[in-house]
Amino acid sequence: MVMLLTLSLLVAPQEPASPGPVTKQPKPDEATYVEIVDVALPEHVVLEVGGFVEFEGAMYVATRRGEVWRIEDASGKQPKATLWAEGLMEPLGLIAKDGWLYCSQRGELSRMRDKSGDGRMDDLETFAAGWPISGNYHEYCFGPSIAGDGSFWLTLNKPFGGEPFGRAPWRGWAIRIPADGGSFEPVCAGLRSPCGIGTAPDGVVWFTDNQGEWCANSKFTPMEVGDFHGHPWGIDSCKLPESKVEYPGEVPSGLRMAEAAKTIPNFTLPAVWIPYDKCGRSPGGFVWDTAGNFPPFEGQVFCGDQYSSEVFRMSLERVAGRWQGACYPFRRGLKSGITRVMWGKQGTLWCGLTNRGWGSLGGSEHGLQRLVWRGVTPFELREITATKKGFRLAFTQPVNAASILPPGFAVKSWTYDHHKAYGCPPATPARTPPRRRRSRPGA
Amino acid sequence: MMVDIEVDDLELCRVYEIRCDGILGQPTNASLLHGVGWYTRNANPE
């Protein structure tokens, strides 16, 4: 495929480019702009983070070991951790609502509180239950996240490997629980390993999924009732009367992604493909920066990666009625894989860490760290948006017009195949050097 | 500051990797911190 690039600067009137060779400054470092702060805790406090929330002046951390820790002064020099609850089944989410803490367990959505005020959970209720598990180790239950209508959403991992007690329905599904609990509706099918679940500012629930079979690449996608996200593992459940998803039929392996989108009923393309090992590997939890905590990137999404121990960012736009956008590196170098992120009251980004059984970069197996904006704006590619004939690139600072020359500026593209094999290398790759540049003032 | 790129033969359902390694800041000639993004193009603006 041959592509012709035309570059045009959309700028306020700027200084003319200086004559002669351009002297490039040394490559900047992420740490100049974003500090990683570790939370030092006693050795016996093992925070394999499944979920966390700030609630009534403290941080509560649910762990994969089935505990909930209450941490006072988590941002201070001497945080104090006390065991608030234990004996839960691998909670992988934690939120607060109306005086209760809600967490997923494998087979139910629970809510908990400390009625006596003695610093320990003493009241646990089953808020909703009924989705079966086969006994496979990988049948994680992620969430909840509360949608704009007040309903609770969970994502159910499909099993990896043997199912000791037979196949269970609704695996690889998203389910919705009404605001007053008690029941659930299976609303989206075709998920694989949807570790991240969160609600956008407009109330729509999104998820991240991890590359694997029938999931060509990791991805970030909004959920609407009736969506089929591509993995056929659980589609027989579409035939059950409770299903909100039309049975998509037999899913052929090997369709090019555009063809899959055209031919498979309700097949939902992601808003953002997150290229494997280019921008993380195993995306987890995410948050929107609606408060401008990281000012140049206000409005964007910050996502933790469970393998690469980095936080990357994403920008979104609605084009022709659907969401799409881009992902970008942000901050690498955390000490373990990131499952969950959340904004702290001081505008710092809390990162909940764990890698047991999964592996990750970094030298630790678990913990809590936070990202602190240092107040200096980097020169950075802030956002890519689509135009009719190409793309618009927005930078955080003015650009030296003389520097927009090949080969320092390159575009390449690819697609994916929707198939049974694990992941998908870039299909039909195309590389295009820029051929022409045109500058003009004005925005 | 914005830069427009025009691309012939734009196709949908593709990821576009855009690298700007050579772009420098004005007036300091600062390098970009990362200078790369991956855009998922499923639809064209109307």
Write the pLDDT tens digit of every residue in B1-46: 898 888 887 899 999 999 998 899 999 999 999 999 999 999 999 8
pLDDT at A107: 95
pLDDT at A2: 32
Q: Is A314 helix (H, G, I), strand (E, B) or coil?
A: strand
- Are A411 and A3 a contacting pair, CB within 8 Å? yes
- Are A400 and A372 a contacting pair, CB within 8 Å? no
All residues of chain B having their beta carbon less than 8 Å from the beta carbon of residue A256 are 13
Average pLDDT per consecutive 10 residues, chain A (443 residues; last block may be shorter) = 43 41 72 97 95 97 98 94 98 98 98 97 98 94 98 97 90 98 97 98 98 98 98 97 98 97 97 97 98 98 98 98 97 98 95 96 96 97 95 94 78 96 93 50 30
pLDDT at A405: 74
Q: Round to whole Å and give the CA distance between A412 and A423.
A: 20
Instruction: Indicate if ipTM > 0.85.
Output: yes
Residues 317-346 of A with CB under 8 A from B: 319-322, 324-330
Q: Round to whole Å and give the CA distance between A324 and A132.
A: 34
Q: Do A392 and B3 touch (CB under 8 A)?
A: yes
pLDDT at A225: 98
pLDDT at A376: 96
Asked if A40 has any chain B CB less than 8 Å from its own CB, the reply is: no
Query: pLDDT, tens digit, for every residue of A113-148?
Result: 999 999 999 999 999 999 999 999 999 999 999 999
Q: Round to whole Å and give the CA distance between A229 and A421.
A: 16
Q: Do A381 and B41 touch (CB under 8 A)?
A: no
Asked if A407 has any chain B CB less than 8 Å from its own CB, the reply is: yes
Tokens matching residue B36: 């790369």
Q: Do A403 and B32 touch (CB under 8 A)?
A: no
Shortest CB distance from B17 goes to which of A274, A398, A413? A413
The alpha-carbon gap from B5 to the nearest alpha carbon of chain A, in Å, equals 5
pLDDT at A163: 87
Neighbours of A45 (CB within 10 A): 20
pLDDT at A441: 31
pLDDT at A435: 45
Q: Round to whole Å and give the CA distance between A262 and A354.
A: 39
All residues of chain A having their beta carbon less than 8 Å from the beta carbon of residue B18 are 381, 384, 391, 393, 410-411
- Are A36 and A331 a contacting pair, CB within 8 Å? yes
pLDDT at A23: 61
pLDDT at A24: 64
Q: Is A257 helix (H, G, I), strand (E, B) or coil?
A: helix
Q: Round to whole Å and give the CA distance between A39 and A351.
A: 10
Any bridge partners for residue A279, and if so which? none
Tokens matching residue A379: 């020169």
Q: Do A399 and B25 touch (CB under 8 A)?
A: yes
Neighbours of A104 (CB within 10 A): 29
pLDDT at A262: 97
Residues in contact with A443: Cβ distance below 8 Å, sequence separation at least 6, in sequence order:
A10, A11, A12, B2
Query: pLDDT, tens digit, for every residue of A47-88?
Result: 999 999 999 999 999 999 999 999 999 999 899 999 999 999
Residue type (1 letter), A117: G
pLDDT at A1: 35
